[in-house]
Structure 1
């Protein structure tokens, strides 16, 4: 029998997961929000849970496994999701100054999004294309 993994909209690199574990030790449970702003506002913003409140205009993309007890939830503004709904996102980290309100700011690293178009099976799974 072939084990087929359920498609996901969002994942995280090992390097990003390592930084999330460090930041969780300092700040407690974390979450991401990908807004539709310009400049740093278009980067994934990492917040302690409860510091950024999501609302009805936010879409839960899923959660990422950073090797913690609980997965880290990832959200995106509904307006931005309309542009990105055909896209798979991977949270990664690179050297540089993070955005002012994102918790990685002082570390000398910053979270970024890497993206690719959804594959055929993912489009079907997420209801964006009819099977067949």
Structure 2
């Protein structure tokens, strides 16, 4: 029986990934809204879900961390993924996986009218 390959070193593990469903939704949203970005705050309820905005519409600052520039096939520019620094301190040992589920999330996130919402799934990353 062959051994499983060793996981990549901690600093080479992608911090944020997309499920195929999330990538498909981002392609649709890109066609309608132009370049996109995510921001995930440390708030409660919908505030702790990733929210999708037209790029630059949500103003980031010193209290935010750029976790990833996500390449989405069929989308020219990367989709940036920002997180509040305080939230990142709690989630820094995980890989975030952006997924899509049925239901309405925040009215401010671009996917809200689609009847779906973005959701974070996470996996602990070995240090």
TM-score (norm 1): 0.84
Tell me which residue corresponds to 1:105: 112
- Tell me if 1:81 matches 2:88: yes
Q: Structure 2 CA distance, aligned partners of 1:95 and 1:65?
A: 24
Unmatched segments (≥5 aa) in structure 2: 1-7
Q: Structure 2 CA distance, aligned partners of 1:85 and 1:103?
A: 26
Tell me which residue corresponds to 1:23: 29
Checking the alignment, whether the CA contact within 8 Å between 1:12 and 1:65 is kept in structure 2 is no
Q: Structure 1 CA distance, aligned partners of 2:123 and 2:41?
A: 18
TM-score (norm 2): 0.88
Q: Shift of residue 75 of structure 1?
A: 0.6
Q: How many residues align?
A: 117
Unmatched segments (≥5 aa) in structure 1: 124-132
Q: Which runs of 4+ in 1 moved over 6 A?
A: none
Q: Structure 2 CA distance, aligned partners of 1:108 and 1:96?
A: 5
Output aligned runs, 1:44-55, within 5 Å. Answer: 44-55=50-61
